């Protein structure tokens, strides 16, 4: 069950159709891996609603309408609430967790609030972290909670370390091991998520109300857009970067690369963007 929330009534058929997956489903590790890879490829990470001052609802009917019924994605609260509902419908034992993002933050910078969501999945005597919503470095497979163990994921190599207040998830980048986020195993309630989601979607100085971040992770490439800076990292190791030129370019990239139909004219979105940046600051 998922701590502190009612995720009953989830339309698993609509979720399967959105992911384009029609194979067998069972509460096992193979299914968990399949679901995470398929969600990362089919439902992009994006924060267009907070950027445009639009509300972000975590109610399942609203999430289904947005993420399953239209060409939209969402950020961590939406992605992982959807994932939790799907996993519970399949029969997994799921607990909602929260983390403090360290991605692209200087080591001396104070810890921020718990504004990232992740899921604990208990399976066959092991504990796994399932996270479909870490924009900037999406994860397309579960991470076994085994401190110190280096784990190969699609387009990622990660490890979990013990930290003074719980655990630290890191990813191996060309510059070395890089912190993603700190987390504990304290269950989070629906109210915990609602409060953190409201802050993340409405505070005038947080990332998601001031900048655009979109990401999609497929077997072919990891495509990341931060404001006007577009980076594609391909499965063969090559990297392509460019800066978007205008609103029409933005609209084409959202449509063709990220499979997003934006909720406003691209010109409106373009006017909200900051300057290009080589890598996104801390996502949620």
Do the strands 116-123 and 45-46 form a parallel or antiparallel pair, or are they unpaired? unpaired
Find the radius of gyration of the CA atoms of the chain.
18
131 classed as catalytic: yes
Query: How far does CA 228 lie from the centroid of its chain?
Result: 20
Cα dihedral: 114, 102, 177, 129 (round 10): 20
Closest C-alpha to 46, from 234, 258, 267? 258
220 classed as catalytic: no
**Which residues of the chain form beta strands (DSSP E)?**
45-46, 93-101, 116-123, 126-130, 143-144, 151-153, 156-163, 166-173, 176-183, 213-217, 221-226, 229-234, 239-243
Tell me, letter by letter, the H, E, C secondary structure of 44-60. Answer: CEECHHHHCCCCCCCCH
Query: Which DSSP category does 180 fall into?
Result: E
Catalytic residue, chosen from 49, 76, 137, 192, is: 76
Catalytic residue, chosen from 6, 49, 116, 126, is: 116
Catalytic residue, chosen from 131, 179, 192, 223, is: 131
76 classed as catalytic: yes
Alpha-carbon gap, residue 141 to 138, rounded angstroms: 9
Show which residues are catalytic.
Answer: 76, 116, 131
């Amino acid at each position: 069950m998922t701590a502190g929330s009612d995720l009953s009534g989830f339309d698993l058929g609509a979720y399967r159709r959105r992911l384009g997956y029609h194979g067998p489903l069972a509460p096992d590790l193979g299914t968990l891996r399949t679901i995470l890879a398929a969600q990362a490829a089919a439902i992009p990470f994006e924060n267009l609603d907070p950027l445009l001052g639009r509300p972000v609802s975590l109610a399942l009917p609203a999430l289904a309408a947005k993420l399953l019924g239209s060409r939209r994605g969402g950020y961590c609260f939406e992605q992982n609430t959807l994932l939790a509902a799907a996993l519970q419908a399949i029969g997994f034992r799921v607990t909602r967790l929260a983390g403090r993002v360290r991605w692209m933050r200087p080591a001396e910078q104070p810890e921020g609030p718990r504004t990232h969501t992740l899921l604990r999945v208990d399976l066959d005597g092991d504990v796994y972290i399932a996270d479909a919503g870490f924009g900037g470095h999406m994860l397309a497979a579960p991470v076994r909670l085994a401190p110190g163990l280096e784990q190969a994921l699609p387009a990622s190599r990660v490890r979990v370390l013990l930290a003074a207040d719980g655990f630290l998830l890191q990813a191996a980048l060309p510059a070395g091991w890089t912190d993603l986020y700190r987390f504990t195993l304290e269950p989070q309630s629906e109210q915990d998520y609602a409060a953190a989601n409201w802050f993340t979607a409405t505070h005038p100085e947080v990332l998601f109300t001031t900048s655009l971040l979109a990401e999609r992770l497929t077997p072919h490439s990891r495509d990341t857009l931060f404001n006007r800076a577009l980076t594609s990292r391909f499965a063969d190791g090559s990297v392509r970067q460019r800066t978007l030129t205008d609103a029409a370019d933005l609209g084409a990239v959202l449509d063709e690369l990220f499979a997003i139909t934006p909720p406003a004219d691209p010109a409106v979105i373009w006017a909200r963007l900051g300057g290009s940046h080589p890598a996104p600051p801390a996502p949620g």
